[in-house]
Structure 1
């Protein structure tokens, strides 16, 4: 079953952010746009490249009113240790959420049960707590923060412009489409 247009299921977890341990929950995903970014594990190979890319683009997400929550099945203690020892991960100022109970990974249907790890899942959630974008990558395939930014901008545009949709490769400021009978067979 697709998670698109479903509400985020309840959770509460500990996270590491800005040098502190904090509690986060599904309630924190409401009232603003959010990206929940699952990755397999701390102290690995592709994961720090993705998290660093998000860190390098975090200010752009913030300008859009988007908060980022990176989630793995590691603990918040592991996140802090990784943050303290990796030059790439040290750049992170967004939430690094621990999911040792695997509740969040199960809620978002990205848990690899046999391994106890999460797939590379990306979820864009609107201010109502409803999932608008789902992307799942195989473990060896890293994601691109700039492409994620483009998708977030498209989701925000569609949400604020009822009756319009964003075509393939749409970028902010470009033409959109207004689906109608007149367009059928003309694109």
Structure 2
């Protein structure tokens, strides 16, 4: 049985080569600890069918993630030179020109293995992990290779995680967005929420 990294535990650290703004450099996950949330986005390979749509979509929404003090790191089993080639290729060619965050190389597949996402073909399943400022894993999803992920839903989840961390004892109900009514983690306190939501409305 494959055991994924556990929610509430320290996310597996790594040190590898990343490419950002056409420059190669070392990237260590733990360097963001105490500074930013991290969205660690695994994708199968450069120039694959779905990946450019997700990576470009995230880049185009980078200001939304910066407002939430969140760093995006995208990782695949491609070499740094494949990443560089992708970043030098225009978007209409399936490339990632002007990407607003680093691409990380996992050529040895060690990181993908640590996060239990390696396919039988040696690629990475599309996994996404939210890691808080303490380096703790707060959320993850894994898709099949042909279904794109939702940026709006990712932002909603990220906001809810940050909200409950800042407001101990509170919880976010289904489809919660900032400003919506909240629950309390104590079931008796949350009776007010359920009463307001489900009681018959007076005409």
Indicate the TM-score class for this superposition, using the shorter chain for normalisation: over 0.9
Shift of 1:86: 3.0
Which of residues 81, 85, 109 is equivalent to 2:116?
Answer: 109
Match of 1:8 in 2: 11
Structure 2: which 5+ residue stretches go unaligned?
195-203
Q: Whose radius of gyration is greater, 1 or 2?
A: 2
In the alignment, the residues of structure 1 paired with residue 185 and residue 15 of structure 2 have an alpha-carbon distance, to the nearest angstrom, of 40
Match of 1:160 in 2: 166
Match of 1:91 in 2: 98
- Aligned-partner SS, 1:71: strand
Shift of 1:63: 1.4
Alpha carbons 2:21, 2:98 under 8 Å: kept: no
2:127 counterpart of 1:121: yes
Structural mapping, 1:1-187, within 5 Å:
1-2=3-4, 3-31=6-34, 32-87=36-91, 89-112=96-119, 114-182=120-188, 183=190, 187=194
Shift of 1:180: 2.0
In the alignment, the residues of structure 1 paired with residue 142 and residue 27 of structure 2 have an alpha-carbon distance, to the nearest angstrom, of 23
Alpha carbons 1:56, 1:91 under 8 Å: kept: no
Alpha carbons 1:57, 1:146 under 8 Å: kept: no
In the alignment, the residues of structure 2 paired with residue 57 and residue 91 of structure 1 have an alpha-carbon distance, to the nearest angstrom, of 13
Shift of 1:107: 1.4
Which ranges of 4 or more aligned residues in structure 1 deviate by more than 6 Å? none
Alpha carbons 1:38, 1:122 under 8 Å: kept: yes
- Range with bigger deviation, 119-128 or 140-149: 140-149
Alpha carbons 2:18, 2:104 under 8 Å: kept: yes
- Aligned-partner SS, 1:78: helix
**Aligned residues, how many?**
186
Alpha carbons 2:22, 2:87 under 8 Å: kept: no
List per-residue Cα deviations over 1:47-100 (Å, max 9, x = no partner). Answer: 000101101111110111100000000012111101111325113120100001
**Cα-Cα RMSD:** 1.7
